[in-house]
Structure 1
């Protein structure tokens, strides 16, 4: 899939018993699995890897892609201060 080639895969993680599984939500077929000693470990790692930082969008923006958003937030902070 072209989108995954350009932007990279968008993995989602889940735990099935002791196995953590991941797959790309874009439907390209990429994915895998890893077995852990306990089901609790698998759930913990799946939750940690599946975490999305949507509420921090723009505050820790990458230098290139979201740089304009970072500049806009800095200007707003300066006006309110």
Structure 2
């Protein structure tokens, strides 16, 4: 799939018993599985990996591409006395 080649895969993680599974949300067929010692461990890892960090975009913005966002956040933070 062209989108996955250009933008990379968008993996979604889930757990089934002691197995964590991941599949590409874009439907290209990429994915895999890993077995853990317990169902709790598989669930913990699946929950940790299945996150989208869009809420932290301004705080953790890449240095080059979103430099204006980082600068605006720094100026705003500095203006608040921090």
TM-score range, shorter chain: 0.7 to 0.9
Residue in 1 that maps onto 2:76: 76
- Distance in 1 (CA, whole Å) between partners of 2:50 and 2:34 is 15
**Bigger shift: residues 64-73 or 19-28:** 64-73
Aligned to 1:50: 50
> Using the alignment, how far apart are the partners of 1:56 and 1:79 within structure 2?
20
Task: Tell me the matched-pair count.
Answer: 81
Give the 3-state SS of the residue equivalent to 2:51 in structure 1: coil
Shift of 1:72: 1.9
Structure 1 vs Structure 2 CA RMSD: 1.5
SS in 1 for 2:55: coil
Residue 38 (structure 2) pairs with residue 34 (structure 1): no
Task: Structure 2 unaligned segments of length 5 or more: list them.
Answer: none
Alignment of structure 1 residues 3-42 onto 2, 5 Å: 3-42=3-42
Structure 1 gaps, min length 5 = none
- The alignment's TM-score, normalised by the length of structure 2, stands at 0.85
